[in-house]
Amino acid sequence: MSPAADTPLAILNEVFGYAAFRGQQARIVEHVGAGGDALVLMPTGGGKSLCYQVPAIARHRGGRGVTLVVSPLIALMHDQVSALEEAGVHAAFLNSTLEGDEARRIERELLGGRLVLLYAAPERILTPRFLAMLDSLHERGLLSLVAIDEAHCVSQWGHDFREEYLGLSQLHERFPTVPRIALTATADDHTRADIVERLALNGAEQFVASFDRPNIRYTIVEKDEAKKQLLRFLRDEHEGDAGIVYCQSRKKVEETAAWLQSEGISALPYHAGLDADVRKRHQDRFLREDALVMVATIAFGMGIDKPDVRFVAHLDLPKNIEGYYQETGRAGRDGAAADAWMTYGLVDVVNQRRMIDESPANDEFKRLQRAKLDALLALAEAHDCRRVRLLSYFGEHSTACGNCDNCVHPPAVWDGTEAARKALSCVYRFRQHGGISFGTGHLIDVLRGKHSDKVAQHQHERLSTFGIGADLSEQQWRGVLRQLIAQGHMRAEGEYNTLELADSARAVLRGEVSVHLRVPSDPPKRGKASRAG
């Protein structure tokens, strides 16, 4: 065989059947192949796997032995290993799904230096037995490379922190001369700094790809009747397409799937509470069929490689921008036009805030989660380009994209200062009047001057703020309150989501700052006539 046969490009051509490297792959492969450490930040679908698989093959051919791949996801390991074996690359995984005999067979292949890549979960790798095997390989010069996939799991700032990942620093202490490549699709500065620090990758070269997914159109609509809005979106824009609808709870997943079915849409539920065989069956159908809508919790999606997902819809607000980006990123991996569509309303803001408040986490962690939620709310409430905001969260500068709702139909903004002052002063009066706080429903009733039982019970018709907001509809008030909470002027607290003023409310009440609000609207559908009325 000529030496040229072992070049990265030759490996890419012959083993994987691809003509050329994409983006920064060639540079990464060369750097790692030569024994350099690397940190690779590349969006989902960007082609991270080849960044370690090609060097692994090259180095194995050069007599350097096995590449250890740390991966948290069993499904992913399985898919990768099958694909590699099919391409004629000797690879295996060790995880809890294997029988003892099979595990021992793989261990023999490993110790014999025959394996090119071994995938394993971090908790497995850090067992004394496994470390002893690595020692043995290392002593004989047969531990070639360590690849750490989903490296953001090492960071609490990331969206799926895994305790076991912290232990991976041991590998470097034990085998300081073995090169490492860490890979992730989560690129914000915080997570990146955590990865570098906790995996001791200070000397590693960083390769940062653009996180833009230009073929995805981002749309965030105000929640009115979420299910009907979803149905309209599916019928108007995605008839016969495959897509994912994310909901927060298992119950809502089941209800929504059943409802879509009753509306004649081929939909299936997926969440962690379903039996394993049901989950598998639904997942297989989703992968196989062209027009299936998967209604799911975020348990669905990690490691699912279906290129022609035409839309990802959110009926509930994700936890943060990382989550939103990951979840929407499952759309359009084939590069063709795809939609990321979300409905978002007052209840979402209130619920997400409350979930953070009530979580058992420590204050520092809660503070972090609130900051991240605020960033997501700012994206949801934005009047300007969604993509610019999304990318800037990941430290990337860009200009208005022309392919998001706000670019296509710039939203009208109104000066909501007066409305904001009415609402905030009414919240203030509640406290002053009876010393108790109320939720949004009652606040809207009082503002609109509605003589409800609760109003009578608390004699709120006597408040000076009673009826001062009759000029706005109930739906309009919900929009105002949502934005006031999202902008941090008031909070919904406790079991009943009662409203309290935040410090910044004072400046609004005194007329020192003005409040700009989005005009509630359902943007007209693209390429079709605007809705009448």
Residues that bind ligand ADP (CB under 6 A): 18, 21-22, 25, 42, 44-50, 305
- The answer to the question of residue 387 lying near Zn ion (CB under 5 A) is yes
Q: Could you tell me the CA-to-CA distances from 90 to 53, 87, 106, 155, 477 in Å, in that order?
A: 11, 9, 11, 32, 62
Q: Compute the least distance from the CB of residue 325 to ligand ADP, in Å.
A: 13
Q: Compute the least distance from the CB of residue 119 to ligand ADP, in Å.
A: 13
The tokens for 59 are 């180095």
**Alpha carbon 264 to its chain's center:** 29
**Dihedral (Cα; 73, 74, 80, 81), 10-degree rounding:** 150
From Zn ion, ligand ADP, none, interface partner of 401 (C-beta below 5 to 8 A by class): Zn ion
Residues in the interface with Zn ion (CB under 5 A) total: 5
Q: Compute the least distance from the CB of residue 218 to Zn ion, in Å.
A: 7
Mark residue 521 as left, alpha or beta (left: phi above 0; alpha: psi -120 to 50; beta: remaining).
beta
Q: Compute the least distance from the CB of residue 296 to Zn ion, in Å.
A: 27
Q: Identity (one letter) of the amino acid at 252?
A: K
Nearer to Zn ion (CB atom), residue 341 or residue 477 = 341
- The answer to the question of residue 401 lying near Zn ion (CB under 5 A) is yes
Nearer to Zn ion (CB atom), residue 306 or residue 387 = 387
Residue for token pair 């020192």: 512
Sign of the dihedral defined by the CA atoms of residues 139, 141, 142, 148, in that order = positive
Mark residue 518 as left, alpha or beta (left: phi above 0; alpha: psi -120 to 50; beta: remaining).
beta
* Contact region with Zn ion (CB under 5 A), list: 96-104, 106-114, 348-356, 382-390: 382-390
Q: Compute the least distance from the CB of residue 144 to ligand ADP, in Å.
A: 20
The tokens for 327 are 């979840």
CA–CA separation, 401 vs 422, rounded Å? 37
From ligand ADP, Zn ion, none, interface partner of 365 (C-beta below 5 to 8 A by class): none
Nearer to Zn ion (CB atom), residue 133 or residue 385 = 385
Q: Compute the least distance from the CB of residue 83 to ligand ADP, in Å.
A: 8
Using an 8 Å Cβ cutoff, are 253 and 271 in contact? yes
Q: Nearest to ligand ADP by Cβ — which residue? A: 47
CA–CA separation, 362 vs 342, rounded Å? 30
- The answer to the question of residue 389 lying near Zn ion (CB under 5 A) is no
Task: Report the DSSP beta bridge partners of residue 143.
Answer: 66
The tokens for 45 are 């679908």
Nearer to ligand ADP (CB atom), residue 49 or residue 320 = 49
Q: Compute the least distance from the CB of residue 411 to ligand ADP, in Å.
A: 33
**CA-based radius of gyration for the chain:** 27
Three-state DSSP state, 489: coil
From ligand ADP, Zn ion, none, interface partner of 407 (C-beta below 5 to 8 A by class): Zn ion
Nearer to ligand ADP (CB atom), residue 36 or residue 47 = 47
Nearer to ligand ADP (CB atom), residue 52 or residue 344 = 52
Selected from 375, 407, 502, 509, the binder of Zn ion by CB under 5 A is 407
Of the candidates 187, 209, 181, the one whose C-alpha atom is nearest the C-alpha of residue 31 is 181
- The crossing angle, in degrees rounded to 10, of helices 474-486 and 417-434 is 90
Q: Compute the least distance from the CB of residue 214 to Zn ion, in Å.
A: 10
From ligand ADP, Zn ion, none, interface partner of 18 (C-beta below 5 to 8 A by class): ligand ADP
- The answer to the question of residue 217 lying near Zn ion (CB under 5 A) is no
Q: What is the DSSP string of 363-426?
A: HHHHHHHHHHHHHHHHHHH-SS-HHHHHHHHTT------S-BHHHHSPPPEEE-HHHHHHHHHH
Nearer to ligand ADP (CB atom), residue 326 or residue 369 = 326
Selected from 209, 331, 382, 385, the binder of Zn ion by CB under 5 A is 385
Binding residues for Zn ion, rule: CB under 5 A, are 385, 387, 401, 404, 407
